[in-house]
Amino acid sequence: MAQMEAIGKGVIALMDQWLKEGTIRDMLFKMNSPEFLDLSYQLYLQVFLPMVEGTNFAGADLVADWNKRNLRIFSNLHQIGCSPDDRVLVIFGQGHIPLLERIARDSPYFEVVDVLSYLR
């Protein structure tokens, strides 16, 4: 947890710097860059998943719950009842984006449009 806290403080400091040097749009662009999204995703795999002691799989359980949450978020999109011409803007915490994008890309019902094209 100390490692996660240190990483979190570093990320908050970086985002604070981005806001001081630019605009909210600039910060959102950087937060949605493939490199930054990958960093958020890797935290779950590198920090949480290895948390195991004997038969206590706390890290794996946390990551499983996180995956379950993402699947439920995506399932909620199916309840909207969109037509093929509809567009839906999905705004979620950065850690969710890599999995939600992957699920959407693998789904025959959705087409992912990169948010960066709107933030340029």
Concatenating the DSSP letter of every residue in 24-85 gives HHHHHHHHTSHHHHHHHHHHIIIIITT--BTTB-HHHHHHHHHHHHHHHHHHHHHTT---TT
CA distance 106 to 75: 13
Phi-psi region of 81 (alpha: psi -120 to 50; beta: other; left: phi over 0): left
Read off the pTM.
0.80
What would the two tokens of residue 56 be?
């206590």
- How many other C-beta atoms lie within 10 A of the C-beta of residue 119? 16
Mean pLDDT by 10 residues, the chain (120 residues): 78 91 93 89 87 94 94 92 86 89 93 89
